Amino acid sequence: MILFLKLFRESYLMALQAIVVNKLRTILTLSGITIGIFAIISVFTIVDSLENKIRESIATLGDDVLFVQKWPWSFGSDYPWWKYLNRPEAKTSEMQEIQKRSTLTEGATFMVQLNKLIKYQDYSIENTEIMGVSEDYDKVMNVDIDQGRFFSHSEALAGRNCIVIGSDIATNLFNNSEPIGKEVVVFGKRLEVIGVLKKKGDDTFGGGSDMQAYIPFAFFSNEVNIDDIGSTIAIKAKKGVNNEELKGELTGIMRSLRKLKPAAEDNFSINETSLLTKGFDGLFKIISLAGWIIGGFSLLVGGFGIANIMFVSVKERTHIIGIQKSLGAKNYFILLQFLFESIFLSLIGGVFGLLIIYLGTLLISAAFDMTLTLTLGNIILGITVSFLIGLISGFIPAWMASRLSPVEAIRSSN
């Protein structure tokens, strides 16, 4: 332990001396490690932050909710779009039959969406996502109400002219005034605001629920021809029922409702959130690989630079090595001494790269509506990579130094 601490101290001092004595050479060399670590870890930081954001957005859909739709969520290079184009849209009658026939369903709701103008007095917002949803929507999907309430079962069935709005809509239309009980105009009709959703922030796929508004489907269908709009039946599984079990039951019900023959293909899709996460997993792997490739070239240059510094360091200290050996220093002592120095130099470059990334995450998070976090895992990865580069780059120079003859080393005059 004492030997290790002695080596640690001497290598640390020698690494600092190399930086002080040869500032330009050392800085240019360490810049390769700094840039390499910056390239790799910055890519991983962005990927991890995006992945967390996407998974949070997908999680709001519910991992125990299935979606009966015309189009599947899984896409491929041979995606036969023409096959799905002529499929019928989901219908409210099918949702009602699912509610009657399914034994594994906690609840089901019907959803359609259209971008429309929403107005209050002299204030208006264009292209607002107006969601027409049937009864039990708040039981199937995650709905967090900040003010007021969601519309009731009877209000949904009756198609009452009421609306639940996102927090950004409430802010833009009403400023700091109380929105509950006031009337906004959608489809040229007046609707009473009965609820405001909690602020969630923008999700990965668009504006998020903060810029959405929910109205009863019965009211929506009286104002819009829903045959021309994509529709969805969302079904929530009972507790203890997995998605595969529910999917199997729903497939049988939908095939029966659409009178499909045993040999006929399904003319509907049953989607789940895992399809979205799988699709993004492949994308993130490609981005991470690109980060390794880009950063790898910088690390390679930095590794050669550190090896060059160590070769020069061995040559400059050959006389000192001879004296150390004549005083009884073992080969492994000399080897570890130079290895530690190489590792220290590499770690210094890596730490500077991580520091730049950390400062960058603070600036980006403050300037944009996006949270970037340098995770502990990525910090450990950056330090580990720096350690390995220093170890690999310094091994050959350290090994050569440890094999020097004491007599020839003492006689050396650099």
- Give whichever of 28-37, 72-81, 116-125, 195-204 has the largest mean pLDDT: 116-125
User: Confidence class of residue 206 from pLDDT cuts 50, 70 and 90?
Assistant: very low
pLDDT for residue 59: 61
DSSP 215: E
Could you report the per-residue pLDDT of 124-166, keeping only the tens digit for each? 898 889 999 998 898 888 888 888 999 988 888 888 999 999 9
* pLDDT of 107 higher than 70: yes
Contact indicator for 148, 165 with CB cutoff of 8 Å: no
Between residues 196 and 294, which one has the greater pLDDT?
196
For 376, the enclosing helix (H) or strand (E) is helix 376-402
pTM value?
A: 0.64
Find tokens 């002695």 and name the residue. Answer: 6
pLDDT value of residue 255:
92
The vertex-224 CA angle with 222 and 228, nearest 5°, equals 135
* 232-255 pLDDT per residue, tens: 999 998 888 888 898 899 999 999
Helix segments in 258-272, DSSP class H? none
Which pair of tokens denotes residue 414? 């650099």
How many CB atoms lie under 10 A from the CB of residue 316? 13
Q: Do strands 189-197 and 162-165 pair parallel, antiparallel, or not at all (unpaired)?
A: parallel
CA atoms of 273 and 64, how far apart (whole Å):
9
